[in-house]
Amino acid sequence: MTGTDVNLVDIGSPDRHFVTSTQSSVPSETSARALWTQALPLAGRQILVFVRDVPTLIQALVFPALSMLMFKVVLGDAIGSATGQNSAYGTVPLVILVGAMFGSIATATRLNQERATGLLARLYVLPIHRAADLTSRVASEIVRILVTTIILLAAGHLIGFRFTQGFGSAVGLVLVALAYGAAFATLTLALAVSARPGAPIVPYLGLVSSLLMFFNSGFSPISAYPTWLQPVVENQPMTPAIEAMRALAAGGPLTSNLVKVAVWTVVILGVSVYPALRGYRKAARDR
């Protein structure tokens, strides 16, 4: 039997049909189905790594709750007398967003370290969607932020935080936190994967996060800031998110702040996604 005969027999054999059918069921690397099915197990890996890192786990879940109590004890009366409202309605949203930001910095640091080990290069040569790993990291961040938000809302109940606008508004508050956290996480991941291994990511991102944390309407009323600084404080990313969460919990102006949150989310994602994907490609090629 010649080589040609073997090929003809193989093509017509049941085994050949089975292999062809099996291969046809594998989604294309660029398809949405591939992105979904491949990002899920990678997201599970990220969550497992996070849960096993006990110091980071405590820092992400326990420290924000303690910070909330500290803000209430130290600044609660001053903010309450200035605004005429329980300071918890500013403190709880503030700490939720701060917890989301600082948790994302830890995740970005881990990504930068994994780039140095060559893990990103190994992922890049696998037949998977190019955005699967980035998507999995953002998805795992959303899960972390969701859990942290629920814990902080429960802790906030102890200092007087209440939902007075119904269940739908409570869900909306959580969605605002997730949108803000997902956008910030994507930004930090883009910076981490584009930076050289061992770059001082934490100091720089920590500085930016600290500035945002201290110059917003959750930490102090906008009217308490210098006049020239008030427009900056009012329109920086955290303030509309805090004000929207405050309104969803206790009532107040909502639409304009939700629009600002949506705009900031789209802008941050818009300037982060492509650099993040390009950073993955560069990290793989540099290895």
What is the total residue count of the chain?
A: 287
pLDDT at 21: 43
Q: How far apart are CA 228 and CA 285, in angstroms?
A: 47
- Angle of helix 88-117 relative to helix 132-158, nearest 10 degrees, comes to 150
Q: pTM of the predicted model, to two decimals?
A: 0.84
Q: What is the distance between the alpha carbons of residues 225 and 229, in angstroms, rounded to a whole number?
A: 6
**Residues of 200-231 as b/e, b for ≥16 C-beta within 10 angstroms?**
ebeeebeeebeebbebbbbbbbeeebeeeeee
Could you read off the pLDDT of 245-260 as tens digits, one per residue?
A: 999 999 888 999 999 9
Note the pLDDT of residue 146.
95
Q: What is the pLDDT of residue 9?
A: 40
At 13 the pLDDT is: 47
Q: Break the chain into its structural domains and give their ranges.
A: 29-286
pLDDT recorded at residue 11: 39
Contact between 106 and 60 under an 8 Å Cβ cutoff? The reply is yes
Identify the segments of the chain with pLDDT beneath 70: 1-27, 74-85, 286-287
84-121 residues labelled b (16+ CB within 10 A) or e (exposed) = eebbbbbbbbbbbbbbbbbbbbbbbbbbbebbeeeebe
Residues 6+ apart with CB under 8 A from 93: 173, 177, 218, 241, 242, 245, 246, 249
